[in-house]
Structure 1
Amino acid sequence: MKNILIVAALTLLTACTQTPDWDYDKSANFSNFKTFAWVENASLTKDTTNYQINGLMEKRVRTAVNKELSQTLGMSLVDPAQADVLVNYHASVDKELEVDSFNVGYGARWGYWGTGFQRDISAREYEVGTLVIDIIDRESNQLVWRGAKEGRLKKKQSPEQREASIKETVANILSNFPPQKQL
């Protein structure tokens, strides 16, 4: 019984984990990309009014991407005119509705015709955030790699929790940059 509960818990945990999504140009030579810069007008806040996408979040995303590309991948942040690739990013927040219903009882009345089910329905609205990171070949000005991750947004987080969440999200997105060769 204990093993069944452990397997069920692991299955539930795995089902709740959002994995990043990637796409890339198979003809791009990623081994040539050693330096990066930000697209000049890259901004999370330009197309949204959601309170969770703001200047603080933008700073956290840029810091996390810079760290991941520099420290983990060994790339150098340079002036855009000298960069091999340009980095751009987008974020969005959408509202989702989660509805649960379950039967809580069955009843029958004998004096009058009828039977019935009692059903409990609950609905909750929540926000799903999506972060997209684009890698653009500066020479050709073509998108060569895109990574994205979406997940349920948590509210009432401290600045430290928000920073840790962004670091983890960016690391997950960039975990397949440069793309690994498929066997």
Structure 2
Amino acid sequence: MKYLHTVAIAALILFVSGCAVKPDVSWDYNHQVDWSALNSWAWFSASGDEKNNRILSLMAQRVHDQVSQDLAGKGLKQVPADKAQLWLSWGFTEKSKLQSQSYGGGFYYAPYPWYMSNWPSEVVVNSYEVGRLTLNVIDPTNRRVIWQGIASQRLTSDMSPEEQKEYISKSVDSLLAKFPPPENYIPSQQ
């Protein structure tokens, strides 16, 4: 019984520490762009009637607010789309993942060769959701993506509004930490 209690505590510690982890972030960008010359941006908007009927969800409002705040802190100014040097768009996807954990497995060998035993083990498989926030920076002249960042983080099904806001804030902050890319930036190989 004490063994199960120890395993339960270890699992709880791993779960809690997993929630506090920063999102996994990856970037890619066009190395031929002169990023120092770009200082204005706008949200990419679709053409036609759909842009007039667009309603921003709470999540979209949080993303827009955090991106605006982070880019203003970097000296980039939000302007109307027809005057912007950069357009931004974003997307969010969820993906189910599986995680397995073995408990209680072991092999016992007594001093006698005929007394070997393979103790029963238990494998527990859990399903969890991973959210991916993707931020694209688009060149308005040719409508091509010139920078893309993806932040992935484990989600919980019962996130409060405060936790959702913190999730968006951490994800956007992590995404924009290296935007615009510094000159001669070479990503680290992990």
Same fold (TM over 0.5): yes
Letter in 1 for 2:92: A
User: 1:51: which partner in 2?
Assistant: none
What per-residue deviation string (whole Å, max 9, x for no partner) do you get for residues 83-129 of structure 1?
00000111110000111113346689xxxx99442011111110001
1:150 aligned to 2:152? yes
Equivalent residues of 2:26, 2:149 under 8 A apart: yes
Aligned partner of 1:177 among 169, 176, 179: 179
User: 1:81: which partner in 2?
Assistant: 82
User: 1:93: which partner in 2?
Assistant: 94
Letter in 1 for 2:131: G
Q: How much has 1:133 moved relative to structure 2?
A: 0.4
User: 1:36: which partner in 2?
Assistant: 41
User: 2:135: which partner in 1?
Assistant: 133
Equivalent residues of 2:133, 2:150 under 8 A apart: yes
Equivalent residues of 2:102, 2:121 under 8 A apart: yes
Q: Flag as ranges the 4+ runs of structure 1 deviating above 6 A.
A: none
Equivalent residues of 2:23, 2:153 under 8 A apart: yes
Give distance in 2, aligned partners of 1:106 and 1:28. Answer: 59
For this pair of structures, how many residues does the alignment match? Answer: 155
Give distance in 1, aligned partners of 2:124 and 2:96. Answer: 16
**Local SS of the residue matching 2:91:** strand
Extract unaligned runs of 5+ from structure 1: 1-8, 43-53
Over the residues paired in the alignment, what is the CA RMSD in angstroms?
2.7
Name the TM-score, length of structure 2 as normaliser: 0.72
User: 1:121: which partner in 2?
Assistant: 123
